[in-house]
């Protein structure tokens, strides 16, 4: 395929997370031309059901492409999965928030969709999108952390995604930061994502509301007073409106974020840190506490360059844009 033909072609990117599956039709500039979304069945559901949801979502995008862009070829499907992906990028070895255990999802989707499929970890896909089109452009050593249901992470070194010896690099959310701390879905205790993630913020908000404290009355209004209904976006909305309890919750999550980022900076010395995922939509309400803690805990502070901590530019589209761009990279060779 010539470069002009490749630039004209489209690709489908799919981001499979703990709560949702989103797919997009993406062009060579990282622009999303069509979207589809489904809820993720969850980790208690059979793995085949999650696969069915992916197929349904991709099929919707394929139909849209055929109707709205009939003259532009679709190169294939890129899948960013919230889990550990094997080194050959064919199998999801383990997904803490899904029912996937050693699932050969790439080959199954190739068979069902009759199109090439590229598989990678969802954070790797998001990092690649930010490196190519977003906040990480022109930074050859980029560290990305995504805060969603849990924490994902990825590292771009010298213009390539570092996947590790066995394909499992970047699972920063499962660094243990509190010995014998909160139980994590991965089976361990005290993992970073139990203190700095959407699920952590939801847990803390519910606990605060269940105590029926007047201090949390403002936050309660955003979920009709029902602790079981509170979600991360309620906390963000309340914090933007100045609610003291919500601001405290976001500050706590942000400080845990900064602590973990300081540990990662000590290990990898990145030139730039990008924070994405749904929780990052809180912006500086989250990132300012993170930056303050990062500056306090960074090893060698005062005697080394301090990498900037930036919000991801592509927002919730990063995973699917990066997955689609990985399909295009396969064609570039």
Domain spans of the chain, in order of start:
3-131+317-332, 137-312
Question: What pLDDT is attached to residue 45?
Answer: 64
Burial class of residue 68 (count of CB atoms within 10 Å of its CB; 0-12, 13-18, 19+): exposed
Structure tokens at 150: 């849990």
Q: How far apart (Å, rounded) are the C-alpha atoms in residues 180 and 298?
A: 24
CA-closest candidate to residue 79, choices 49, 46, 54: 54
Rounded to a whole number of angstroms, the distance between the first and last alpha carbons of the chain is 11
Q: How far apart (Å, rounded) are the C-alpha atoms in residues 333 and 214?
A: 60
Which CATH architecture fits 3-131+317-332? 2-Layer Sandwich (3.30)
Q: What is the DSSP letter of 89?
A: S
Q: What is the pTM of this model?
A: 0.89
- The answer to whether 279 and 247 are in contact (CB under 8 A) is no
Helix axes 198-210 and 244-268, enclosed angle (nearest 10): 150
Q: How far apart (Å, rounded) are the C-alpha atoms in residues 330 and 75?
A: 10
Question: What pLDDT is attached to residue 177?
Answer: 94
**pLDDT above 70 coverage of the chain, percent:** 98
Q: How far apart (Å, rounded) are the C-alpha atoms in residues 284 and 311?
A: 8
Q: Residue 100, CB half-sphere, CA atoms under 13 Å: how many?
A: 28
> What top-level class would CATH report for the domain 137-312?
alpha beta
Tens of pLDDT along 142-183?
Answer: 999 999 888 989 999 998 999 999 988 998 999 999 999 999
- The answer to whether 154 and 144 are in contact (CB under 8 A) is yes
Domain 137-312 in the same topology as domain 3-131+317-332: yes
| pLDDT surpassing 80 at residue 97 | no
Q: How far apart (Å, rounded) are the C-alpha atoms in residues 149 and 146?
A: 9
């Amino acid at each position: 395929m010539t470069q002009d033909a490749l630039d004209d072609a489209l690709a489908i990117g799919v981001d499979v997370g703990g709560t949702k599956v989103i797919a997009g039709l993406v062009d060579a500039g990282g622009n999303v031309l069509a979207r589809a979304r489904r809820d993720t069945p969850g980790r208690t559901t059979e793995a085949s059901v999650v696969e069915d949801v992916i197929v349904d979502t991709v099929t919707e995008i394929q139909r849209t492409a055929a109707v709205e862009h009939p003259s532009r070829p679709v190169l294939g499907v890129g899948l960013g999965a919230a889990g550990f992906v094997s080194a050959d990028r064919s199998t999801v070895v383990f997904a803490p928030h899904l029912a996937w255990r050693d699932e050969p999802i790439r080959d199954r989707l190739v068979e069902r969709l009759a199109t090439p499929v590229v598989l990678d970890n969802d954070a790797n896909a998001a990092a690649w999108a930010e490196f190519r089109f977003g906040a990480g452009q022109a930074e050859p050593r980029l560290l990305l952390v995504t805060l969603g249901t849990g924490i994902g992470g990825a590292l771009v070194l010298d213009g390539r995604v570092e996947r590790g010896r066995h394909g499992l690099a970047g699972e920063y959310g499962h660094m243990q930061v509190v010995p014998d701390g909160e139980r994590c879905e991965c089976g361990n205790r005290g993992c970073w994502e139990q203190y700095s993630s959407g699920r952590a913020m939801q847990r803390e908000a519910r606990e605060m509301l269940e105590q029926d404290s007047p201090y949390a009355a403002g936050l309660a209004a955003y979920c009709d007073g029902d602790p079981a209904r509170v979600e991360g976006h309620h906390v963000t909305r309340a914090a933007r409106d100045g609610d003291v309890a919500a601001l405290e919750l976001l500050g706590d999550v942000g400080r845990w974020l900064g602590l973990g980022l300081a540990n990662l900076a000590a290990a990898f010395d990145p030139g730039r840190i990008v924070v994405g995922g749904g929780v990052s939509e809180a912006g500086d309400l989250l990132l300012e506490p993170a930056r303050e803690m990062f500056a306090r805990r960074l090893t060698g502070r005062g005697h080394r360059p301090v990498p900037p901590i930036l919000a991801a530019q592509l927002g919730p589209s990063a995973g699917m844009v990066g997955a689609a761009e990985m399909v295009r990279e396969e064609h570039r060779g």
